[in-house]
Amino acid sequence: GAVVSQHPSRVICKSGTSVKIECRSLDFQATTMFWYRQFPKQSLMLMATSNEGSKATYEQGVEKDKFLINHASLTLSTLTVTSAHPEDSSFYICSARQGADGYTFGSGTRLTVV
């Protein structure tokens, strides 16, 4: 089946620095990928839709300058958390859709900003 690889699985960074998270579709091409944020014991909130070769579409309330998304190829989307602060600490998950099979999710990235 479809596999989505997300890297890193965990990252700790200092406040004010930037962190890049990668999301790769391993055995299929994904023109569209999705980035979610999950707070502890809560559901997944869609942050943005990443479109290959064009600008990402952000959900209401998500700062596009804070969460930079790049989808330069059909198998890779990246999310960069810029000038990270402790309140950005969260679990970030990407997903991609493969045809009619629905969405496949990455294993997530635990970001801790200290």
Partner 1 sequence: AQSVTQPDIHITVSEGASLELRCNYSYGATPYLFWYVQSPGQGLQLLLKYFSGDTLVQGIKGFEAEFKRSQSSFNLRKPSVHWSDAAEYFCAVAKSGGSYIPTFGRGTSLIVHP
* Residue (of 57, 60, 45, 37) closest to 111 by Cα position: 37
Using the rule CB under 8 A, is 104 a contact of partner 1?
yes
For residue 82, the Cα-to-chain-centroid distance in whole angstroms is: 13
Using the rule CB under 8 A, is 68 a contact of partner 1?
no
Q: Are residues 23 and 106 in contact, defined by beta-carbon separation less than 8 angstroms? A: yes
Q: Which is nearer to partner 1, 54 or 65 (CB)?
A: 54
Rule CB under 8 A: which residues touch partner 1? 4, 6, 9, 32, 34, 41-44, 46, 49, 91, 93, 95, 97, 100, 102-108, 110
